[in-house]
């Protein structure tokens, strides 16, 4: 506690302080401390002897016993050997004092100071009291009794000096102020300027029994700590390499490295193929492809351009169904997905998919076209896989997928065609209804010999949640929650056939990210029975040797080009797509003969003309054999209605339809009838 001084003591000390500050070589704090000690004790003594002593009397007693302030100050000055007063310059009110010992002197002794304003000023100088270089403070308090107040009743001189003089704090504050003033604009600019990032690359090479990290051998236990020790991991790429393509357990090693890269905050993991032990990461460069594999690739790719490995993973889908990732064979789709997941900034990356087999038969140079921007390229062997990659890319959040058709020069590579679209639709209807056994019996999907890729692996969907999955030998139906895949509402509906490329193509058009209601509508439309085309009415005449192509509605007069020397007239007609002829039998008027009408001709009730649909037609014709049918109509019971299936053209599938005989003219030997086909008939004028 620092109590207030008694007025007489304070008065005396203040007078002494002013006197002391006029002298050189004296520490005012010391002198005031001495005087305070004396005066406090003296006052107590005097008041004990005479309690009624007033302040004025006390002050007189102080002066009488302790001495007048001027004399006391002079005594201190003399004790130090300095002159009492040295009026050399002109600096009224200023003094300079040592911040360590408190030795003080009027500033006028050292120079002139006029009209200056100052709060704290320090300078280094020699102190005769300390006899060493000290911080000297220039202070304007010679006219003020500030030290008396600072000293109070209990503070020591050292405490007063410490409270008054803090040159280091002041210097630190000045330095901080200067730095903040000068550096603040720089920080402002630096904060707004885009960060200059330079990628760094460190390489992990995994061998059968050892591995190296950036050229130094490391054990599996040490790996995490060694990786964690790298600074700037956020802009460092961890490269992963194996010493040999046939390294066992390479996929799990890659997966571990991938997890570490994510957990430790590396920018991304980059697969750099086969590298020797001790290899170090470096700036993007050409990679060396394994020689044997390079030859293998060269057989399928006329020119394999070496791509920079950084930011690009080249995936080749080989005919033997193995994957070549940067020249290293990978027989695990999961590994490939891991590679895809490791690519950073996928939302801004185009996944480029190159279809290898398009099987057009046209000779097109098998060469990579110009790369689209993006780190990935994939050569897909079939359309189903193309679609798979499409879904995978969406599931992984790639910006978009671009398919580059890269056509093969071997027509034989084209997969065989599959069953009719109507059969596939029926198959799909049964699958959706859960009648899988019936679906299996419906048809035998043709399969390519090398179709071994299992598209049923849910992992291929990149974590998509499967709501429904029907796995069969031929295909897998997957209804996937789109929100899980692409963050969109609705469902992803697609059917992956193992191989029949044609139907995969067709279904790919059906499958898309759509609204759930729209999807249901599309599925309903997809499964709905096909409508019958518009009716076509024709009249055939016996004398004119008329024959009819039902699909085109074209009537042909055989008298013009009939070759009577053909060995098999019916085959001759069938090859030309002709379906129906007319024959008049005196005993059986109105007979129409069918030329290999597939599925036979079945007479049905007349109402069927208006009510039958494609599904009923298929049902009516189910199990019927193809043969040359004859439609015998009773002129008294017309109209007569029939269902039929055509034999089809070489380029077209068979059609089903309904036919109704309307009238028979015995005299003219003509027969009038109408018919409707299911889908795709394009009748022409006669």
Which residues are at the interface with another protein (CB under 8 A)? 30-31, 33-38, 40-42, 44-45, 65-68, 71-72, 75-76, 78-80, 153-154, 156
- Assess contact for 474 and 445: CB atoms under 8 A: yes
Quote the least distance from Cβ 153 to another protein, whole Å.
6
Give the separation between CA 106 and CA 189, rounded to whole angstroms: 48
Give the separation between CA 174 and CA 166, rounded to whole angstroms: 12
Pairing of strands 236-242, 200-206: parallel
User: What is the token pair recorded at 577?
Assistant: 């797509």
Quote the least distance from Cβ 109 to another protein, whole Å.
20
80 vs 404, beta carbon nearer another protein: 80
103 vs 429, beta carbon nearer another protein: 103
Tokens 């000297």 -> residue: 136
Give the 3-state secondary structure of 33-99.
HHHHHHHHHHHHHHHHHCCCCCHHHHHHHHHHHHCCHHHHHHHHHHHHCCCCCCCCCECCCCEEEEC
Burial class (CB in 10 A: 0-12, 13-18, 19+), 367: exposed
Quote the least distance from Cβ 96 to another protein, whole Å.
20
Tokens 């006390």 -> residue: 58
User: What is the token pair recorded at 427?
Assistant: 């198959």
1 vs 248, beta carbon nearer another protein: 1
60 vs 220, beta carbon nearer another protein: 60
- The single-letter DSSP state of residue 112 is B
153 vs 628, beta carbon nearer another protein: 153
Backbone angles phi, psi at 171, to 5 degrees: -60, -40
Quote the least distance from Cβ 6 to another protein, whole Å.
11
Quote the least distance from Cβ 154 to another protein, whole Å.
6
DSSP per-residue letters across 647-684: ---SSS---EEEEEEEEEETTTTEEEEEEEEBS-----
29 vs 426, beta carbon nearer another protein: 29
31 vs 462, beta carbon nearer another protein: 31
31 vs 598, beta carbon nearer another protein: 31
Quote the least distance from Cβ 51 to another protein, whole Å.
17
Rounded to 10 deg, the angle between the 250-263 and 333-342 helix axes is 20
Quote the least distance from Cβ 40 to another protein, whole Å.
4
Quote the least distance from Cβ 70 to another protein, whole Å.
11
Q: By three-state DSSP, how is residue 410 classified?
A: coil
- Assess contact for 358 and 405: CB atoms under 8 A: yes
35 vs 337, beta carbon nearer another protein: 35
The number of beta carbons lying within 10 Å of the beta carbon of residue 186 is 9
Quote the least distance from Cβ 81 to another protein, whole Å.
9
45 vs 217, beta carbon nearer another protein: 45
User: What is the token pair recorded at 283?
Assistant: 């700036």
DSSP per-residue letters across 322-360: -EEETTEEE--HHHHHHHHHH-S-GGG-EEEEEE-----
Quote the least distance from Cβ 144 to another protein, whole Å.
21
- Assess contact for 147 and 130: CB atoms under 8 A: no
- The single-letter DSSP state of residue 156 is -
Strand partners, 268: 237
């Amino acid at each position: 506690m620092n109590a207030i001084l008694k007025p007489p003591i304070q008065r005396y000390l203040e007078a002494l302080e002013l006197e002391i500050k006029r002298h050189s070589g004296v520490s005012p704090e010391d002198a005031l401390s001495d005087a305070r000690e004396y005066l406090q004790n003296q006052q107590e003594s005097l008041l004990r002897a005479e309690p009624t002593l007033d302040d004025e009397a006390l002050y007189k007693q102080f002066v009488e016993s302790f001495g007048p302030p001027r004399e006391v100050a002079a005594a201190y000055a003399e004790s130090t050997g300095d002159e009492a007063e040295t009026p050399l310059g002109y600096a009224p009110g200023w003094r300079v004092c040592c911040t360590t010992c408190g030795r003080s002197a009027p500033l006028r002794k050292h120079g002139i100071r006029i009209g200056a304003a100052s709060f704290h000023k320090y300078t280094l100088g020699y102190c005769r009291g300390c006899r060493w270089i000290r911080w000297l403070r220039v202070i304007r308090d010679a006219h003020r009794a500030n030290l008396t107040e600072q000293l109070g009743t209990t503070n020591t001189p050292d405490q007063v000096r410490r409270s008054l003089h803090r040159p280091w704090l002041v210097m630190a504050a000045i330095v901080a102020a200067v730095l903040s003033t000068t550096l603040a604009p720089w920080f402002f600019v630096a904060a707004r300027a885009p960060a200059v990032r330079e990628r760094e690359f460190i390489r992990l090479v995994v061998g059968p029994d050892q591995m190296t990290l950036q050229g130094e051998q490391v054990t599996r236990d040490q790996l995490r700590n060694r990786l964690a020790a790298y600074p700037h991991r956020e802009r460092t790429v961890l490269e992963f390499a194996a010493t040999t393509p046939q390294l066992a357990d390479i996929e799990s090693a890659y997966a571990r490295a991938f997890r570490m890269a994510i957990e430790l905050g590396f920018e991304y993991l980059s697969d750099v193929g086969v590298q020797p032990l001790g290899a170090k990461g470096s700036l993007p460069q050409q990679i060396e492809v394994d020689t044997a594999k390079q030859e293998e690739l060269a057989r399928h790719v006329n020119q394999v351009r070496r791509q920079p490995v950084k930011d690009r993973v080249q995936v080749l889908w080989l005919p033997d169904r193995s994957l070549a990732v940067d020249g290293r064979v990978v027989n695990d789709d999961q590994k490939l997905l891991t590679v895809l997941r490791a690519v950073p900034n996928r939302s801004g990356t185009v996944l480029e998919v190159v279809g290898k087999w398009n099987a057009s038969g046209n000779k097109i140079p098998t060469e990579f076209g110009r790369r689209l921007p993006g780190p990935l390229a994939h050569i897909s062997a079939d359309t189903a896989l193309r679609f798979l990659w499409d879904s995978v890319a969406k599931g992984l959040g790639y910006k978009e997928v671009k398919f580059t058709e890269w056509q093969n020069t071997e027509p034989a590579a084209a997969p065989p065609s599959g069953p009719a679209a109507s059969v596939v639709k029926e198959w799909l209807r049964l699958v959706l209804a859960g009648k899988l056994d019936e679906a299996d019996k419906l048809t035998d999907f043709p399969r390519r010999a090398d179709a071994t890729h299992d598209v049923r692996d849910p992992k291929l969907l990149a974590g998509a949640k499967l709501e429904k999955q029907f796995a069969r030998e031929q295909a897998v139906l997957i209804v996937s929650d789109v929100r899980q895949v692409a963050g969109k509402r609705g469902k992803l509906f697609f059917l992956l056939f193992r191989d029949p490329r044609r139907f995969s193509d067709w279904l790919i058009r059906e499958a898309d990210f759509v609204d759930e209601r729209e999807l249901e509508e599309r599925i309903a439309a997809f499964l709905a029975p096909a409508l019958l085309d518009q009716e076509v009415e024709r009249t055939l005449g016996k004398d004119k040797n008329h024959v009819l192509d039902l699909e085109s509605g074209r009537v042909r007069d055989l008298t013009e080009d009939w070759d009577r020397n053909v060995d098999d007239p019916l085959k001759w007609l069938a090859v030309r797509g002709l379906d129906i002829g007319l024959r008049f039998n005196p005993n059986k008027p109105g007979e129409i003969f069918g030329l290999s009408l597939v599925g036979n001709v079945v007479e049905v009730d007349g109402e069927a003309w208006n009510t039958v649909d494609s599904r009923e037609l298929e049902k009516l014709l189910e199990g019927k054999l193809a043969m040359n049918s004859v439609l015998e109509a009773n002129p008294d019971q017309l109209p007569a209605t029939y269902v039929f299936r055509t034999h089809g053209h070489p380029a077209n599938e068979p059609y089903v339809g309904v036919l109704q005989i309307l009238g028979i003219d015995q005299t003219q030997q003509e027969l009038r009838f109408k018919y409707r086909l299911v889908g795709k008939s394009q009748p022409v004028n006669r």
